[in-house]
Structure 1
Amino acid sequence: MNRNGDIVIIEDDKDDQFLFEEVFKELDYPNKRVYFNDGDAALDYLHLSTTVPFLVLSDINMPLLNGFELREKLKTDADINLKCIPYLFFSTALSQEMVIDAYSMSVQGFFVKPSSVLELTATIRIIIEYWKRCASPNNFD
């Protein structure tokens, strides 16, 4: 995990992308945000050897490659696993089955998109602060 790395946001809804960006600007975290509309584009980006993001926030229902399919590909990719990138779902869809499936894929969090900007801001702040404080195998010299 690279605490100073990009925050990858995989979200096909432009309105949600706008809200995420507004929240991150308000919170003033220095991490660059990189947005992708689908899992395929994010997968290509994550395969770049120079890419070591801070974390991934992924929607589930997306075109081409959905969040579950992307997570499965990332989980079985040794090169990407060595980067120790936290992978979290952020979705409006919620069911017990989805949460069980997510955690069985070693997802580090499953969050429901809040209905207000205030709640979204609080949730993003908690997520970022948690991962900024968390130790990771590749944070040692």
Structure 2
Amino acid sequence: MNKNGPVIIIEDDLDDQLLLEVVFQKLGYPNKVVYFLDGQQALDYLNKTEEVPFLILSDINMPKLDGFALRDKIHMDAQLKVKCIPYLFFSTAVSQQMVIDAYSLSVQGFFVKQVSMDELEKSITVIMEYWKRCVAPNNF
């Protein structure tokens, strides 16, 4: 895990992207934030970039490659898996079955998108601070 790497946000709703951009700017984390509209774009980026992202915040319901399929591809790819990139779902869609399916794919967190800016800021702060303090096998 690269704590200084970019935060990858996979979100097909441009309004949600804008809200997240405002929150990240307000919170002032030094990490670059990179947005993708679908899982396939994110997967292509992950396979081509030399950068090791800090974490991935992924919506579930997206065109081309949904969040579950993307997580499965990353989890099964030895070169991507060894980068130890935390993969978290950040979605308005939530059900018990979705959460079970997410954790069966070794997702490191499932967060429901908050409606208010204040709650969205709190969620992003909790996520960022937790992973900034976490240690991964590739930190040594």
TM-score, length basis structure 2: 0.99
**Over 6 Å off, 4+ runs:** none
**Map of 1:47 onto structure 2:** 47
Q: Percent identity?
A: 66
Pairwise CA RMSD of aligned residues? Answer: 0.6
Give deviations 1:29-63, integer Å, cap 9, x for gaps: 00000000000000011112502000000000000
The number of equivalent residue pairs is 140
Give deviations 1:107-134, integer Å, cap 9, x for gaps: 0000000010100000000000000000
Residues 106-125 of structure 1: pairs in structure 2 closer than 5 A: 106-125=106-125
Give deviations 1:62-120, integer Å, cap 9, x for gaps: 00000001001011000001100000000000100000000000000000000101000
Distance 2:42 2:126 in 1: 24
Matched, 1:16 2:16: yes
**Map of 1:77 onto structure 2:** 77
Cα contact 1:6–1:32 (8 A) shared by 2: yes
Where in structure 1 are there 5+ consecutive unaligned residues?
none
**Map of 1:36 onto structure 2:** 36
Cα contact 1:45–1:51 (8 A) shared by 2: no
Tell me the amino acid that sits aligned with residue 65 of structure 2: L
**Map of 2:127 onto structure 1:** 127
Tell me the amino acid that sits aligned with residue 86 of structure 2: P
Where in structure 2 are there 5+ consecutive unaligned residues?
none
TM-score, length basis structure 1: 0.98
Cα contact 1:11–1:59 (8 A) shared by 2: yes
Distance 2:89 2:48 in 1: 22
